[in-house]
């Protein structure tokens, strides 16, 4: 059994602390109490906790001062603020200082429990992302694909974990720029083959004659430049993984040879008659529809079925928009360090533009946009004026933007809902109850949608 999560409840109302201790203890949490910020800070210095549930108005040291004191610490627990005097401005200020969320008093126990569960899940995912980023960095990669806690990314990580330990062939599909090679690397890193080579090759980057010799190797004297025996990439990957990117562009003659290898696990170098046994897992990727390629006789049907034992679809950035703020944060930090720039914060307007842009080039396009913006930034804040023209010309809201970026009705509805909630909150001065009445939904539904669309964290 995992150790129970530790929660510190900080409030000057003894009855509330007692009530929260009972509720949280029933849920299996280990609960500590403090009557003000100073007492809480003393406790945190002695014993770390996972989450702090903290009131804003308290004697000696209020909640905002406690949050400010916690922020620079190496070990930072998740902080959820609560107050009976809440406004949207206070919530935004608390979140800018590092709070995860904000709850207005009076609240229902279920609301607090839901917020705590989501916060702890978010913390767990961030820790997982940090580990994945470190592993990708160690392999010389790190384009940020595995960053994100959207449903699409959770499904992808779950699928990778389920299939990594097997030797079956894997076909990765997805649009250009989604990070298919990183998915292949992560499958390799989580497999029993992790200590053996991961060898990538782009099938579209080499002519047929060179591609064949690269894959299967050759014997000295086979052709003019064959001055010595050479192992092919299949042999180089022995015991590990061979990643064939752009598999849809593999020439038909080589498709035949690859199919034979998949059937018997043996290869023959060019110019040789001896066959060699090779133990290698094959992972392939394409942005093409291979079923169409099969119908058009550009791809062998039998090879397609051999490669498509396990299918891993990689989501486009449009299918995981809620991950954009995390990706922007990651790339901003990455390029600030690379170029020695002091950019440490991203203006909310930048996030809004990024959330509204269609990203046809997916993560690769996003990464390039952030790199350029960091290079052009003059201060320590990434501003809208630092963005490429195609991003600054995007108009917030409006049917043209929605139709230009939404590829499904669901996406169009999500964009419209987010825009309407933003405008209504602006009209009501941040009063959620009035906004929910104006929108014709319950307050609880509005609060859920605010969290779903990350309103208040960037806006």
| Model confidence pLDDT, tens digit, residues 248-277 | 999 999 999 999 999 999 999 888 888 899
Residue 134 in this model has a pLDDT that exceeds 90? no
Q: How confident is the model at residue 355 (pLDDT cuts 50, 70, 90)?
A: confident
3-state secondary structure of 202: strand
| Rounded distance between C-alpha atoms, residue 189 and residue 350, angstroms | 34
Between 117 and 412, the more confident residue is: 117
Q: Which residues pair with 104 in a beta bridge?
A: 83
3-state secondary structure of 173: strand
Residue 404 in this model has a pLDDT that exceeds 70? no
Q: For residue 287, what pLDDT is reported?
A: 92
For residue range 211-223, what is the model confidence (pLDDT) as tens digits?
888 899 888 887 7
Q: Which of 347, 344, 340 is nearest to 375 (CA)?
A: 340
Indicate the range of 2-6, 78-82, 255-259, 434-438 predicted with least confidence. 2-6
CA distances from 2 to 5, 46, 366 (A): 9, 22, 38
Q: For residue 155, what pLDDT is reported?
A: 92
Indicate the range of 64-73, 113-122, 387-396, 414-423 predicted with least confidence. 387-396
Residue 32 in this model has a pLDDT that exceeds 90? yes
CATH of range 318-452; options 2.60.120.580, 3.40.50.720, 1.10.8.60, 1.10.3720.10: 1.10.8.60
Pairing of β 281-286 and β 6-10: unpaired
Residue 74 in this model has a pLDDT that exceeds 60? no
Between 39 and 85, the more confident residue is: 39
Question: How large is the angle between the packed helices 88-96 and 63-70, nearest 10 degrees?
Answer: 20
Q: How confident is the model at residue 39 (pLDDT cuts 50, 70, 90)?
A: very high
Q: For residue 144, what pLDDT is reported?
A: 42
Q: What's 316's DSSP letter?
A: P
Q: How confident is the model at residue 229 (pLDDT cuts 50, 70, 90)?
A: confident
3-state secondary structure of 389: helix
Q: For residue 280, what pLDDT is reported?
A: 96
Task: Give the dihedral sign, CA 34/127/96/358.
Answer: negative
| Rounded distance between C-alpha atoms, residue 230 and residue 236, angstroms | 10
Indicate the Cα dihedral angle 61, 62, 65, 69, nearest 10°.
60
| Rounded distance between C-alpha atoms, residue 3 and residue 21, angstroms | 18
Indicate the range of 71-75, 193-197, 302-306, 435-439 predicted with least confidence. 71-75
Q: For residue 142, what pLDDT is reported?
A: 42
CATH of domain 6-125: 3.40.50.2300
Pairing of β 381-382 and β 345-346: parallel
Q: For residue 150, what pLDDT is reported?
A: 86
Q: For residue 458, what pLDDT is reported?
A: 41
H/E element, 376? helix 362-376
Residue 400 in this model has a pLDDT that exceeds 50? no
Q: How many residues does the chain have?
A: 459
Q: Are 265 and 277 in contact (CB under 8 A)?
A: yes
| Rounded distance between C-alpha atoms, residue 445 and residue 376, angstroms | 40
Mean pLDDT for the stretch of residues 74-86: 77
Mean pLDDT for the stretch of residues 121-149: 58
Residue 411 in this model has a pLDDT that exceeds 70? no
Mean pLDDT for the stretch of residues 11-34: 92
Q: Which of 283-287, 318-322, 342-346, 450-454 has the highest mean pLDDT?
A: 283-287
Residue 334 in this model has a pLDDT that exceeds 50? yes
Q: Are 287 and 314 in contact (CB under 8 A)?
A: no
Q: For residue 336, what pLDDT is reported?
A: 92
Between 101 and 39, the more confident residue is: 39
Residue 443 in this model has a pLDDT that exceeds 70? yes
Superfamily (CATH H level) for 151-313: P-loop containing nucleotide triphosphate hydrolases (3.40.50.300)
3-state secondary structure of 231: strand
Burial string for 282-312 (b: 16+ CB within 10 Å, else e) reads: bbbbbbeebeebbeeebbbeebbebbeebeb
Q: Which of 310, 280, 294, 281 is nearest to 173 (CA)?
A: 310
- CATH 3.40.50.2300 range(s) for the chain read 6-125
Residue 95 in this model has a pLDDT that exceeds 80? no
Return phi, psi of residue 243, to 5°: -105, 115
């Amino acid at each position: 059994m995992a150790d129970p999560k530790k929660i510190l409840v900080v409030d000057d109302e003894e009855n509330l602390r007692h009530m929260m201790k009972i509720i949280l203890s029933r849920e299996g949490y280990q609960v500590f109490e403090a009557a003000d910020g100073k007492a809480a800070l003393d406790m945190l210095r002695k014993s770390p906790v996972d989450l702090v549930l903290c009131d804003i108005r308290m004697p000696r040291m209020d909640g905002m001062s406690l949050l400010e004191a916690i922020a620079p610490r190496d070990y930072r627990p998740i902080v959820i603020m609560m107050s009976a005097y809440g406004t949207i401005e206070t919530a935004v200020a608390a979140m800018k200082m590092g709070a995860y969320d904000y709850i207005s008093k009076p609240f229902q126990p279920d609301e607090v429990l839901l917020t705590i569960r989501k916060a702890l899940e978010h913390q767990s995912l961030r820790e997982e992302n940090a580990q994945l980023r470190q592993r990708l960095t160690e392999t010389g990669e790190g384009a940020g694909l595995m960053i994100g806690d959207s449903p699409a990314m959770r499904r992808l990580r779950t699928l990778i974990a389920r299939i990594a330990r097997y030797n079956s062939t894997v076909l990765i599909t997805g649009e250009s720029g989604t990070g298919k090679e990183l998915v292949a690397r992560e499958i390799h890193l989580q497999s029993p083959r992790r200590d053996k080579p991961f060898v990538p090759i782009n099938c579209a980057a080499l002519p047929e004659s060179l591609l064949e010799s690269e894959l299967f190797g050759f014997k000295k004297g086979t052709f003019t430049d064959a001055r010595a025996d050479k192992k092919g990439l299949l042999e180089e990957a022995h015991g590990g993984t061979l990643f064939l990117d752009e598999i849809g562009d593999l020439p038909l003659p080589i498709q035949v040879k690859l199919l034979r290898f998949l059937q018997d696990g043996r290869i023959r170098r060019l110019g040789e008659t001896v066959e060699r046994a090779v133990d290698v897992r094959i992972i392939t990727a394409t942005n093409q529809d291979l079923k169409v390629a099969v119908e058009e006789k550009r791809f062998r049907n039998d090879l397609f079925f051999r490669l498509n034992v396990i299918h891993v679809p990689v989501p486009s950035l449009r299918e995981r928009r809620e991950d954009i703020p995390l990706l922007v944060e990651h790339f901003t930090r990455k390029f600030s360090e690379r170029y020695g720039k002091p950019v440490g914060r991203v203006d909310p307007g930048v996030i809004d533009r990024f959330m509204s842009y269609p990203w046809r080039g997916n993560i690769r396009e996003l990464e390039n946009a952030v790199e350029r913006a960091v290079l052009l930034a003059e201060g320590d804040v990434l501003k809208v004026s630092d963005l490429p023209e195609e991003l600054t010309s995007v108009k917030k809201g409006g049917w043209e933007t929605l139709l230009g970026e939404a590829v499904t009705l669901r996406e169009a509805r999500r964009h419209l809902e987010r825009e309407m909630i933003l405008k209504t909150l602006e009209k009501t001065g941040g009063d959620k109850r009035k906004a929910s009445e104006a929108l014709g939904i319950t307050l609880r539904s509005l609060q859920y949608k605010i969290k779903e669309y990350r309103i208040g964290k960037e806006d």
